[in-house]
Chains A and B, each alone.
Chain A
Amino acid sequence: NSKVIQTPRYLVKGQGQKAKMRCIPEKGHPVVFWYQQNKNNEFKFLINFQNQEVLQQIDMTEKRFSAECPSNSPCSLEIQSSEAGDSALYLCASSLLGGIEQYFGPGTRLTVL
């Protein structure tokens, strides 16, 4: 069973508001991924980290999203100015360095009104 912890489980924001969610990866996993699962259940990769360094991110993430994985603190994903289209389940996953398997948390369900 995955031990990736995500908080909060549910988040409701108005358009234009900031939305911040957190992820604690499995112990010993230095690689963290964020994915967005939209209302059609489609997964989209957003960003990944190795320790505190960004490995890869998509354009959308660069513009309105900010993410970090500080040392000894939870990783976070923040939407600076929420839009209705951001309503989705945000999933965090972690893996070992060079590991193939990713272990997912239960997600944060964001609703933007």
Chain B
Amino acid sequence: GDSVTQTEGLVTLTEGLPVMLNCTYQTIYSNPFLFWYVHYLNESPRLLLKSSTDNKRTEHQGFHATLHKSSSSFHLQKSSAQLSDSALYYCAQESGSFNKLTFGAGTRLAVCP
């Protein structure tokens, strides 16, 4: 079945440093949709980025990611971390199975002053 792997459970950074959160996926479908959701404590998970286009960079709110089907990856990046970026980040895929999402285990990003 489908699966999403996020290798880092916790990433701790100093404010101003670049962010990279890893995401790889497995699916039998040739055209998966990949997503990044951000989840702040006591709030609703919120869509940050999405893509189904191979090798095209997608950007939103300073974050960006590029879907690479050749390596089954959709890593999340930001050039300069801010304190307000501290949250849980989930990579997820939707692969045509009634649109349900398969999530990775999540990466907690902690940005320190």
User: What residues make up the interface of A, taking CB atoms closer than 8 Å to B?
Assistant: 2, 4, 31, 33, 35, 40-43, 45, 48, 55-56, 91, 95, 99-107
Contacts of B108 in A (CB 8 A): 41
Q: Is there contact, CB below 8 Å, between A100 and B99?
A: yes
Q: A100-B50, A100-B99 are in contact. Are A41 and B45 (CB under 8 A)?
A: no
Q: Can you offer 6 A-B residue contacts whose CB atoms are under 8 A?
A: A35-B103, A48-B99, A99-B99, A103-B47, A105-B44, A106-B42
- Nearest CB in chain A: distance from B106 CB, A: 5
Distance of A70 Cα from B72 Cα, bound (Å):
39
User: What residues make up the interface of B, taking CB atoms closer than 8 Å to A?
Assistant: 33, 37, 42-47, 50, 52, 88, 90, 92, 94, 97-103, 105-106, 108
Contacts of A104 in B (CB 8 A): 37, 44-46
* A43 (CB) vs chain B CBs: closest residue: B103
Contacts of A31 in B (CB 8 A): 99
Q: Is there contact, CB below 8 Å, between A2 and B88?
A: no
Q: Is there contact, CB below 8 Å, between B105 and A42?
A: yes
Q: Is there contact, CB below 8 Å, between A2 and B105?
A: no
Contacts of B92 in A (CB 8 A): 43
Contacts of B46 in A (CB 8 A): 2, 104
- Nearest CB in chain A: distance from B44 CB, A: 4
Q: Is there contact, CB below 8 Å, between B98 and A48?
A: yes
Q: A42-B106, A48-B100 are in contact. Are A106 and B43 (CB under 8 A)?
A: yes
* A46 (CB) vs chain B CBs: closest residue: B100
- Nearest CB in chain B: distance from A55 CB, A: 4
Distance of A35 Cα from B100 Cα, bound (Å):
10
Q: Pick from B101, B102, B105: contact of A102, CB below 8 A.
A: B101
Contacts of A99 in B (CB 8 A): 99
Q: Is there contact, CB below 8 Å, between B44 and A100?
A: no
Distance of A56 Cα from B95 Cα, bound (Å):
14
Distance of A101 Cα from B50 Cα, bound (Å):
9
Q: Pick from A41, A45, A91, A103: contact of B100, CB below 8 A.
A: A45
